[in-house]
Amino acid sequence: MNLPAISIPNIDLPFDIPVLLHPPVDHFAIALPIVVLLIEFINVFIKKRSLSVLSLFLVIAMVIAAIGAYLTGSVDGKEAYPLLNEMGQSELKEHKLLGTYIMLFSGIVLLFKLAQMIMSNGLAKAFYLLILALFVAGVLKQGKEGGELVYEFGANVEMVQTLDDEKFDLQEERDELEEELEAKTEELESLKAKASEPVDAVEETTETTDETDETEAAE
């Protein structure tokens, strides 16, 4: 599926999103639309107002989960991107693009849900179900591609985190070795300074002895 390129403004959050949050958030982003679709199909036959209200709250939660999946996916994707090969990087870009569409489309689903509840007729209900079913299909495709990124291309953010931890440990070891080397250098210079003192004294004594010998010889 070749989707037209789309971009949204960067969202500046008052907090940093840690890595490794995308997988758990993604589970909600996938499960909630499926649950909503099942409830709506059941409600076609039961026709309970309470189920429709429950579905509305779940759709709102679905929108929040879609936004969360997009944000956490952007963070994890930046960490995993440098470790992927060229094909994996291309797949990651397509995955992000589809994720952007899904996040925006979740808002459209919410609008159709509200319109269906207000209009309360069969045509509006059928159109809403169609939109919801398309959304679920897109979410499932996104989940499948996300799994392929991890298992086929190695977009494993946990591995990136491990490498970052190892890098941090190596930097600490390097700093400790530099401090130890600096201390050893200072100690060596101090020993050299102490070792040069007797040499100077011997040289002075030798010079004095030579001068005395010369004086005695002259006499």
pLDDT digits (tens, 9 = 90+) for 91-120: 888 888 999 999 999 999 999 999 999 988
- Distance CA(150)–CA(195), nearest Å, equals 63
**How many residues are recorded in the chain?**
219
Same domain, yes or no, for 211 and 164? yes
Per-residue pLDDT at 166: 62
Greater confidence, 129 or 8?
129
Q: Does the pLDDT value for residue 60 go beyond 50?
A: yes
Percent of the chain residues topping a pLDDT of 70: 80
The residue ranges of DSSP E strands in the chain, in sequence order, are none
The answer to whether residue 161 scores a pLDDT higher than 70 is no
Choice among 101-105, 138-142, 145-149 with the minimum mean pLDDT: 145-149
Per-range mean pLDDT, top range of 9-23, 104-118, 176-190: 104-118
Supply the pLDDT for residue 202: 47
Within this chain, do residues 55 and 132 fall inside the same structural domain, yes or no? yes
- CA torsion sign, 158 to 162 to 163 to 165? positive
Do 127 and 214 share a domain, yes or no? no
Q: Are residues 176 and 127 in the same domain?
A: no
Residues 47 and 146 in one domain: yes
Confidence at residue 54, expressed as pLDDT on a 0 to 100 scale: 95
Q: What digits encode the pLDDT tens for the residues 200-214? A: 544 555 555 555 555
- Domain count across the chain: 2
Residue 121 has pLDDT above 60, yes or no: yes
Upper half-sphere CA count for residue 69 (Cβ side, 13 Å): 31
Same domain for 131 and 185, yes or no, is no
What's the confidence (pLDDT) of residue 1? 60
Give the residue, 163 or 185, on which the prediction is more confident: 185
Containing domain of residue 175, as a range?
Answer: 158-219
Q: What is the mean pLDDT of the chain?
A: 81
What is residue 78's predicted lDDT score, i.e. its pLDDT? 84
- Residue 94 inside a domain? The answer is yes
Asked if 102 and 66 count as a contact pair (C-beta separation under 8 A), the reply is: yes
Report if residue 148 sits inside a domain: yes
Q: Sign (positive/negative) of CA torsion 163, 169, 172, 174?
A: negative
On whether the CB atoms of residues 140 and 46 are closer than 8 A, the answer is no
Task: Kindly state the tokens that stand for 193.
Answer: 């300074």
Looking at residue 197, its amino acid is E
Instruction: Write down the pTM of the prediction.
Output: 0.67
